[in-house]
Structure 1
Amino acid sequence: MMIYMDDHSVAARLAVEAGELLLGIRHEGGAAGDRKSNELLLRRLAELRPEDAVLSEESTDNPIRLERERVWIIDPLDGTREYGQPPRTDWAVHVALAVDGVAVIGAVALPAADLVLHTGEPPALPPPADGPIRLVVSRSRPPACVDLLVKHLDATTLPMGSAGAKAMAVVRGEADIYAHSGGQYEWDSCAPVAVAAAAGLHVSRLDGSPLRYNRPDPYLPDLLICRPELADAALEVLRTNS
């Protein structure tokens, strides 16, 4: 007999399953990881939520999703480069559900860290840390908005890999702000945004406008995830200097 799982549990379960698969085939490299994780997630969503549409980084976009209220937005392997550099842990699996364009359900697995964070059991936001504001950034290509925030908020930077790993560093209290500009897609942010919002963090575009999903063009170039007490200051810097 099939046991019913709610949407939160589906997201978390599938993120875990994909993560376990990826750990087992890590020696095959990132291309195989992307493909096999995608195949697993598509198969399992077809089994568990056959009426819903799917938008995946690794699949051809099906415009039928624009006619659906419920769309699963997945990144089967966020941080392909980091995945291909064991023993790095800063890569992730994203499984999210957008309902009417809003990221309401999400799970982000950090398989190499044996961790999954999801909206079914949102993590408690740790208290503010002492010391300077910590801004999580890309190791190789920090976006322009990072320089603004470092300068005007006197922030320090914490280099890290994938988008999901960066966002979850803020959720876990290891960093205070994750800001990105200049090139992401809906699958890069949907699951992290859902988890961050459920944990009580501020989530928005860099201009403060809401993040909307399942749009005809899935390009969603910028976002801000930060502690709620820092949102006004960060947005002021970004708006004033943009």
Structure 2
Amino acid sequence: MVTEYAGSSDAAIARTLATEAAARLVGIRLENPDADRLSLKDLGDQGAQAVLAARLAELAPADAVLSEEAADSAARLSASRVWIIDPLDGTREYSEGRDDWAVHVALVVDGALSLGAVALGGPDEVIVSTDLAGSTDAGEAPIRIAVSRSRASGIVRRVAASLGAELIPMGSAGVKICSVVNGATDAYLHAGGQYEWDSAAPVAIARAAGLHTSRLDGSDLVYNRPDPYLPDLVVCRPDIRDRVLGAIDDALAAQPE
């Protein structure tokens, strides 16, 4: 069920949150041209969190919140509505002046991921799951897999080798998942450790776009659990799902004991 706050739908609230936090992040970089990378990361995390916290308190005051940059509360586990937010996903890219960072805003309603909004590299490109129609086109060979700029896990490298896939490095998890949504890549695999806020919003978008989303073992991605650690996932075009999951199974089986 979509709830109205101050005349705004949940999707409108999510868009507003992501847009305003991203605008603040752009402003922080402009205001601090001489800041070192570590300081800029901290300023970005804190500034975007402040915007999101203030706007959620205004627009959705009765809802619970799970954020990377705020203390967790067990009260969210019994709440009907929980916003899962990552104020700045891709702090490294943000601090380097790149644009492959994101703001994640997701909503879980009665235990189910309801919607997501992701601002990509600023306030001008904001994708909301409710904007998408749920159809995908088949891609061309070779399969393109989005991976971290700094590291691709052994599992991902083995999967890529099995599929004859090309690895495409880029920044934040949100950017990687949205690259599958917009057709720039065909799959995103992660096995190195993440939390719910890293994937909730872009996974909602991927699902709305008709993509396959799951854990590496094919099980469901579940949000608003007591422990928000959600270390692995796969997002891919549905037409290559079986090939990708089969290659993942083989890669996992090949891991040393």
Q: TM-score, normalising length from structure 2?
A: 0.89
Count of aligned positions: 240
The equivalent position to 1:203 in structure 2, one of 185, 201, 213, is: 213
Following the alignment from structure 2 to structure 1, what is the Cα–Cα distance between the partners of residues 134 and 26?
27
| 1:167 aligned residue | 177
Q: Is the 8 A contact 1:117 1:123 kept in 2?
A: no
| 1:118 aligned residue | 128
The equivalent position to 1:23 in structure 2, one of 23, 26, 32, is: 26
For structure 1, the 5+ residue unaligned runs are none
The letter of the residue matching 1:6 is S
The letter of the residue matching 1:233 is R
The equivalent position to 1:237 in structure 2, one of 237, 241, 247, is: 247
Change (3 A) 1:63 1:21: same
The equivalent position to 2:59 in structure 1, one of 48, 63, 83, is: 48
Q: Give how far 1:100 is off.
A: 2.9
Q: Is the 8 A contact 2:115 2:201 kept in 1?
A: yes
Q: Is the 8 A contact 2:107 2:116 kept in 1?
A: yes
| 2:9 aligned residue | 6
Offset from partner CA, 1:14-63 (integer Å, 9 cap, x none): 10111111111114312111001001101111111111100000001111
* Higher mean displacement: 172-181 or 230-239: 230-239
Offset from partner CA, 1:108-165 (integer Å, 9 cap, x none): 1013483111112116655333230000100112123211221111000100011111
Give the secondary structure class of the aligned counterpart of 2:213.
strand
Q: Is the 8 A contact 1:126 1:172 kept in 2?
A: no
| 2:230 aligned residue | 220
Q: Could you list the structure 1 runs, at least 4 aligned residues long, displaced by more than 6 angstroms after superposition.
A: none
Change (3 A) 1:83 1:174: same
Offset from partner CA, 1:195-222 (integer Å, 9 cap, x none): 1000111111111111001111110000
**Is 1:81 aligned to residue 92 of structure 2?**
yes
Larger radius of gyration: 2
For structure 2, the 5+ residue unaligned runs are 33-39, 253-257
The letter of the residue matching 1:222 is D
Change (3 A) 1:113 1:133: farther
Q: Is the 8 A contact 2:117 2:201 kept in 1?
A: yes
Following the alignment from structure 1 to structure 2, what is the Cα–Cα distance between the partners of residues 159 and 123?
27
| 2:142 aligned residue | 132
Output the aligned Cα RMSD: 1.5
> Kindly, what percent of the aligned residue pairs are identical?
53
The letter of the residue matching 1:89 is D
Q: Is the 8 A contact 1:163 1:188 kept in 2?
A: yes
